[in-house]
Structure 1
Amino acid sequence: MSTTILAAGASAADNFGFMNAMKQGGPVTWTTAAILTIFLFFTLYILFTKLFEQQKIINQGRRVRATFWNANSLREGAAKLEKNSAYKQIVDDGIEAQEQHSRLTDPVEAHDWLHGSLQRSEAAINSQLGGGLAFLATVGATAPFVGLFGTVLGIYRALIGIGQAGQASIDKVAGPVGESLIMTAFGLVVAVPAVLAFNFLQRRNKGIAEHLSAFSNDVLGYLASNGAVRPVAPGKKAPTATAPKPATTTAGQAGGVQTRV
Structure 2
Amino acid sequence: MSVFELLRHGDGVSRTVAALLLAMSVASWVVILWKAWLLRGGTRDVLRSITAFWQSASLQDAEARLQPVDRALMVLPAVRALNRLAQPAEGATLGAKVDRTQRLTRILRDALHAALRRLQAGQILLATVGATAPFVGLLGTVWGIYGALAGIAAETGGFTIDKVAGPVGEALIMTAFGLAVAIPAVLAYNVFGRVVGRIEAELEGFAHDLLGMFGDPASPEAALPPARPMPV
TM-score bucket of the superposed structures, by smaller chain: 0.7 to 0.9
CA-to-aligned-CA distance 1:88-130 (integer Å, 9 cap, x gap): 1111113324546686676534323211220111001100111
Please tell me whether residue 146 in structure 1 is matched to residue 139 in structure 2: no
Describe the shift of the 1:105–1:65 C-alpha distance in structure 2 as closer, same or farther (beyond 3 A).
closer
Residue among 175, 189, 196 paired with 2:166: 175
Describe the shift of the 1:175–1:47 C-alpha distance in structure 2 as closer, same or farther (beyond 3 A).
same
- Equivalent residue, structure 2, for 1:204: 195
Whether the 8 Å contact between 2:52 and 2:65 is mirrored in structure 1 is no
Residue among 79, 95, 100 paired with 2:64: 79
**Length-normalised TM-score, structure 2:** 0.80
Please tell me whether residue 135 in structure 1 is matched to residue 125 in structure 2: yes
Aligned partner of 2:22: which letter? Answer: T
For 1:71 and 1:227, the matched residues in 2 are separated by 18
Whether the 8 Å contact between 1:158 and 1:176 is mirrored in structure 2 is yes
Aligned partner of 2:173: which letter? Answer: I
Describe the shift of the 1:78–1:69 C-alpha distance in structure 2 as closer, same or farther (beyond 3 A).
same
Whether the 8 Å contact between 2:43 and 2:195 is mirrored in structure 1 is no
Describe the shift of the 1:88–1:57 C-alpha distance in structure 2 as closer, same or farther (beyond 3 A).
farther
Please tell me whether residue 95 in structure 1 is matched to residue 83 in structure 2: yes
Describe the shift of the 1:173–1:227 C-alpha distance in structure 2 as closer, same or farther (beyond 3 A).
farther
Aligned partner of 2:161: which letter? Answer: I
For 1:228 and 1:117, the matched residues in 2 are separated by 19
Whether the 8 Å contact between 2:148 and 2:167 is mirrored in structure 1 is yes
Describe the shift of the 1:208–1:199 C-alpha distance in structure 2 as closer, same or farther (beyond 3 A).
same
For 2:166 and 2:62, the matched residues in 1 are separated by 67
For 2:2 and 2:159, the matched residues in 1 are separated by 19
Over aligned residues, Cα RMSD in angstroms?
Answer: 2.5
For 2:204 and 2:178, the matched residues in 1 are separated by 39
Please tell me whether residue 157 in structure 1 is matched to residue 123 in structure 2: no
CA-to-aligned-CA distance 1:11-37 (integer Å, 9 cap, x gap): xxxxx5544433331343233222212
- Equivalent residue, structure 2, for 1:238: none
**Higher relative contact order (Cα pairs below 8 Å, separated by 6+ residues):** 2
Whether the 8 Å contact between 1:91 and 1:219 is mirrored in structure 2 is no
**Length-normalised TM-score, structure 1:** 0.72
- Identity of paired residues, percent? 36
82-91 vs 146-155, which moves further: 82-91
- Equivalent residue, structure 1, for 2:105: 115
Whether the 8 Å contact between 1:143 and 1:191 is mirrored in structure 2 is yes
Q: Which runs of 5+ in 2 are unaligned?
A: 223-232
Aligned-pair distance for 1:219? 2.2
- Equivalent residue, structure 1, for 2:37: 52
Whether the 8 Å contact between 2:81 and 2:111 is mirrored in structure 1 is yes
Aligned-pair distance for 1:131? 1.1
Q: Which runs of 5+ in 1 are unaligned?
A: 1-15, 230-261
Number of residue pairs matched by the alignment: 214
Aligned-pair distance for 1:169? 2.2
Whether the 8 Å contact between 1:101 and 1:113 is mirrored in structure 2 is no
